[in-house]
Chain A
Amino acid sequence: MNKNDALLAYALRLGDNALILGQRMVELVAAYPELEEELANANFALDYIGQARMFYAYAGELEGKGRDEDDLALLRDENEYRNLLLIEQPNGHFGDSIAKLVLFEAFYLRQLEELVHCADKRIAEIAARAEKEIRYHLRHNTQWLIRLGDGTEESHARAQEAVDNLWRFTGEMFAADEVDNVFENEFDGPDLYRIREQWRETVAAVLEEATLAMPEDAWMASGGKAGRHSEHLGYMIAEMQYLQRAHPGASW
């Protein structure tokens, strides 16, 4: 894989992660019991949609075929999305959402911190902006995971179950493939092995404070980064793309 192809693939992945997670959060709008959490979720979802737009716009330029953010976000087929499997998992209950966000954002924040110093200027610029946003999200979501874990017996059990269920999707974040390797070597990109160590430290500390057990690393699911998704993604994309597909070529 050459340098340019890796850069394009990397930008698209970042866009896909941001969009698919943002879309999951959008599904929760108007369903929060407390206004403060409603506002936080909408705010965070807006950050992700904004990040997706920046990564896609750049990917479109790199590709050079005239595709804009919406062509990339809303007119690709399911197997062309390269987001992590963790991110496309359905929302479940509040504890499921929070656990998913903490597990992902503890990784994403490290990834962005590294990207701020990468050799590609545009990626570095977008990462610098996103990093500030995600740092704030992670702090907020971590506080919730701790409250749930160290709250009541019921909330503890629910939070533990959520972490246990999602754990098998965490390995994919650190499983470097060709895109990751070329991006690391050619653009001074993140070293996923090192990020994994940092991630484990962060997550272990959060789980400990939350009085939750860290699951054993066992079998890990993968495929999202290669376009092999769970059944959940197809429905999400069908809903998300509905108007673009139903009215080809229309402006909105």
Chain B
Amino acid sequence: MYTQGLDQKDKSAPKREQLETPEQLEAFQARIDAEEKIEAKDWMPEAYRRTLIRQISQHAHSEIIGMQPEGNWLTRAPTLKRKAILLAKIQDEAGHGLYLYSAGETLGVSRDQMVAGLLSGKAKYSSIFNYPTLTWADIGAIGWLVDGAAIMNQIPLCRCSYGPYARAMVRICKEESFHQRQGFDILRVLCAGTAGQKAMAQDALNRWWWPSLMMFGPNDADSKHSAQSMAWKIKRFSNDELRQKFVDVTVPQAEFLGLQVPDDDLVFDQESGHYRFGEIDWQEFIEVIKGNGPCNRQRLGKRRKAHDDGEWVREAARAYGEKQAAKAAA
């Protein structure tokens, strides 16, 4: 999901890992199996810590980068009410980024370190945010599909074995379901509107459908982190299970809107009770992850520029703080 990246190897093989004994690992797994929550101060295997840092920071980066495609329509929102709703949503996403960085910090990395990983291009964020928002309907599609897919993935994360992450997710999930409803409402109104508006909605679904399915990450057979994450109860369902669930829930919603899902192979299988859907273009997914999506450079470029433009302000705040501290000490 927000952490679907084909991530890089951690080259700094930590010494602590070599000192881990089979007894420690076994006792840890027993706690996981007993559904105990692991807290920041508890002993945990290095690999567990690393996996969580990777996942939580990727998730946080996704919240932050995800503000850009939606921010793209903020100045052009069609009514003041829609503008206010979208602004509040984007503000929520910034808040999600903040909680998640805080959850990440409980694992011994600083927010600055995590952000540095994003800015250098080393850390990944969800591939979905590398697609452009070309019309107002895209804002509806993002709320409906992207926040919808995020919810599918995040509800089980509320029961994640790592306590601080699970608790952050509980708070986030509540807000994501608002976002999803608001996005659906944008499309509902467009679909009941003029021919031009309805065409806009269909075009948005055509462009966002497949990238939304890619949000769940590679097929189970190709997902290298899945098995261990499941054993650690960081993950509760496989990528394919979640993707299937998303399709099952979303296709009837598209029908309700009167929109056509852009998949000729999509068919309801009476026997299993599930929709069968076509093959995802995994080459596209890999290219976007590698940095070749339509907006990768633009998104990261904007974040880097914001960071660089803020340098003199950070320095000013630091200098002012030092002066105040010196005054207080005098």
Contact = CB atoms under 8 A, between A and B. Distances in A.
Contacts of B320: 146-147, 150-151
Given A30-B67, A32-B306, A147 B312 contact: no
A6 B76 CA distance: 31
A29 B197 contact: no
Interface string B46-70: 0000000000000000001001101
Interface of A is mostly: helix
A155 B94 contact: no
A32 B82 contact: no
B38 interface: no
A53 B87 CA distance: 14
A46 B87 contact: yes
Given A29-B74, A43-B91, A93-B309, A152 B316 contact: yes
Contact of A151 (B302, B307, B315): B315
A231 interface: no
B84 A50 contact: yes
B78 to A, nearest CB: 4
Interface in A83-132: 93-95
B165 interface: no
Interface in B273-330: 302, 305-307, 309-310, 312-320, 323
Interface stretch (B148-156, B188-196, B214-222): B188-196
Interface in A26-67: 26-27, 29-36, 38-39, 42-43, 45-46, 49-50, 52-53, 56
A218 interface: no
Contacts of B64: 35
A35 B97 contact: yes
Interface in B188-212: 189-190, 192-194, 196-197
A238 to B, nearest CB: 10
A73 interface: yes
Interface residues of A, number: 48
B163 interface: no
A252 B312 CA distance: 41
A46 B95 CA distance: 15
A95 B317 CA distance: 12
A74 B76 CA distance: 10
Contacts of A53: 80-81, 84
Interface centre among A148, A152, A239, by most B CB within 10 Å?
A152
A34 B307 CA distance: 8
A93 B305 CA distance: 12
Contacts of A35: 64, 94, 97-98, 101
A240 B81 contact: no
B75 interface: yes
Contacts of B314: 33-34
Contacts of B81: 53, 70
Given A31-B306, A56-B80, 4 more contacts: A53-B80, A148-B316, A151-B319, A152-B316
